[in-house]
A and B are shown apart, each in its own frame.
Chain A
Amino acid sequence: MNRSTFPHRLLPWLLIAPQLAISLVFFYWPAVQALWQSMLREDPFGLKSRFVGLQNFQKVLAEPAYINSIQVTAVFSILTAFFSMAIALLLAVQAEKIVRGRGFYRTLMIWPYAVAPAIAGMLWLFMFNPSFGTLAAIPRALGIHWDPLLNGTQAMGLVVAAASWKQISYNFLFFVAGLQAIPKSLLEASAIDGAGPVRRFWTIVFPLLAPTSFFLLVVNTVYALFDTFGIIHAVTSGGPGKSTETLVYKVYNDGFVNLLIGSSAAQSVILMVIVIALTAFQFRYVERKVHYG
């Protein structure tokens, strides 16, 4: 390693000061606040608060609504990550086969990524609105009594669809890049060895995409866990009942709607731990574990 040396002790600190300041003000300060508040309990009028240690955490973890939220989050994240990745992979594989207009097709595929989450949520809400939604006709034509505003399963389906749809573009790009990195001669060798297109995909392409898939799995999980607030807020607001209330949405609901600051802060801290764990996991494994030289 080549170490650069600075002539001055102070200079390096000055250089990283702006970044440090931003991090401190917008990340560490709120994080410390959350940590502090998670150990306080406010009276119902918000006039005074007292220190309660880990009581907020004990209460949160014992709360059935919180356990429900964990389950909702798990279902939502798994489904969203699965569908957004599976559909993106399917589209990427098909796009590889296009000979003419490949670039055009790929460009079009990227557009959904530019749509803001709340807008994406509204789009899906409108399209599948039971009374005037254009696409609501499809489930109805299939004989399903379609009403995501009352049916929790259907509501979950709708937020999963909206959240997946938005993430497909991103995954698509990575899968296209991943597919292009697979040497064509491997597929030719496998074809000569007797494999048909389906077997070629499952024995060669899919395993060689493992690094890409693993990376995307982490990214999509983080996305589903933390970046889908806007979509859920726009489409279901966590309802009906609490059937789409994910952990992040519950933090918002408890803190800003129900004004349970201590509980909400405790939940934030739990989420923080999850993010840190996921990030550490990603750093540790994505770069090193799953790749073939």
Chain B
Amino acid sequence: MATLSLKDVRKTYGKTDVIHGVSIDIADGEFVVIVGPSGCGKSTLLRMVAGLEEITSGTIEIGGRVVNTLEPRARDIAMVFQNYALYPHMSVFDNMAYGLRIAGVRGDDLKARVAKAAEMLDLSTLLDRKPRQLSGGQRQRVAMGRALVRDPAAFLFDEPLSNLDAKLRVSMRLQIKDLQRRVATTSLYVTHDQVEAMTLADRLIVMNKGVAEQIATPMEIYDAPANMFVAGFIGSPAMNFLPATVTGSDLLISDGSRMPRPAGLQDGGVILGVRPEHLTRSRSAGPGTLTVRVLAVETLGADAFVHARLGESGSEDIVFRVPGHDRPAEGTVVSLAVDQDKVHIFDAATQRRISGM
């Protein structure tokens, strides 16, 4: 168990900058999730912590000890890989015992520790099997067990659930969270799935193109995304963005509808951000509402997401949420009330969030 600290960590391949300086202090036992689109550098960052990639500059500390130049084996970490990386020629027991044996654990002690980890992951009856005789979910648990059994200073996860089917992913997600709570080991977890990120994380690092766009708790990020990238990436379906102009006492949307002017803004162009769940159907049109034409309805059961186009001429697409039993028909025109307390205003040029909530 240990703290984990990154200070201005950078990575360059040849002339390409892949990680542009990431800093974070992770508390002992904290679960931090790195989330971002594919190719943004999540794995690279994680692998630098693991010691599988060299650090171009910056400092990585594990338990207060600078590990920049240490071999992976000297860092006291365990990692769960996307493809699980189980040793195919070894039984489940031997897979889990591999690291312990290297560490010099033998005999009854070894057996007891493997048995305990196997117990926690419900693997006790599978210890004699080879990885190829296991299902995807079981392999995933063995990979977890191999990490768990060594009781390392930190767990590193690189998209450990992305090879599982949707249902298994949800149950494994809960299991990982529960396990991490019980052993209270500092964890760094990479995923491209924002739902996974939100549900697992104590704190999130939202990454984009090698930059940590925002580091905060899931709810902080949901309530106050630092910029349009974060706002669009976290939340499903994504936040709606509407070009608007601050003028007089109004916020003028591109289709001509008007919202009250938010406080503390200068005149000029901005981007209005509204989440689908903060738009509700209203009987009357008028100030503070938007008029849209329904294009398509995605019914999920309890909820439905309505895809619509803003205004008569129609250039902006908008998504809003309605109860599953109260869906507008396709092609109809509806009015939407905008929850004024929940809107976000972004600077049109810098894309930074400048006001809201």
Chain A residues with CB under 8 Å of chain B are 183, 185-186, 188-196, 199, 203-204, 207-208, 210, 292-293
**Distance between Cα atoms of A4 and B150 in the complex (Å):** 57
Q: Is the CB of A193 within 8 A of B73?
A: yes
Q: Is the CB of A192 within 8 A of B78?
A: yes
A186-B85 contact, Cβ under 8 Å, with A192-B79, A193-B146, A199-B102: yes
Minimum distance in angstroms from A193 CB to a CB of chain B: 4
Residues of B close to A208: CB separation below 8 A: 88-89
Closest to A292 in B: B88
Residues of A close to B78: CB separation below 8 A: 192-193
Chain B residues with CB under 8 Å of chain A are 50-52, 71-73, 77-79, 81, 83, 85-89, 98-99, 102-103, 130, 132, 146, 150
Q: Lowest 3 CB-CB distances: which A-B pairs, in order?
A: A193-B99, A185-B85, A189-B85
From A186, A191, A194, A199, give the contact of B87 (CB < 8 A). Answer: A186
Minimum distance in angstroms from A182 CB to a CB of chain B: 10
From B71, B86, B132, B146, give the contact of A191 (CB < 8 A). Answer: B71
Closest to B76 in A: A194
Residues of B close to A188: CB separation below 8 A: 50, 52, 72, 79, 81, 85
Minimum distance in angstroms from B223 CB to a CB of chain A: 37
Residues of A close to B150: CB separation below 8 A: 193
Residues of A close to B79: CB separation below 8 A: 188-189, 192
Residues of B close to A210: CB separation below 8 A: 89
Residues of A close to B103: CB separation below 8 A: 194
Closest to B79 in A: A192
Residues of B close to A190: CB separation below 8 A: 87, 98
Give the most central of B50, B72, B130: most A CB within 10 Å: B72
Closest to B71 in A: A191
Closest to A204 in B: B87
Q: Is the CB of A192 within 8 A of B88?
A: no
Residues of A close to B146: CB separation below 8 A: 189, 193
18 residue pairs bridging A and B, Cβ less than 8 Å apart = A185-B81, A185-B85, A186-B85, A188-B50, A188-B72, A188-B85, A189-B79, A189-B85, A191-B71, A191-B73, A192-B72, A195-B98, A195-B102, A203-B87, A203-B98, A207-B89, A293-B88, A293-B132
Q: Is the CB of A195 within 8 A of B73?
A: yes
Give the most central of A183, A194, A199, A207: most B CB within 10 Å: A194
Residues of B close to A193: CB separation below 8 A: 73, 78, 98-99, 102, 146, 150
From B51, B71, B83, B130, give the contact of A185 (CB < 8 A). Answer: B83
Residues of A close to B99: CB separation below 8 A: 192-194
Residues of A close to B86: CB separation below 8 A: 189
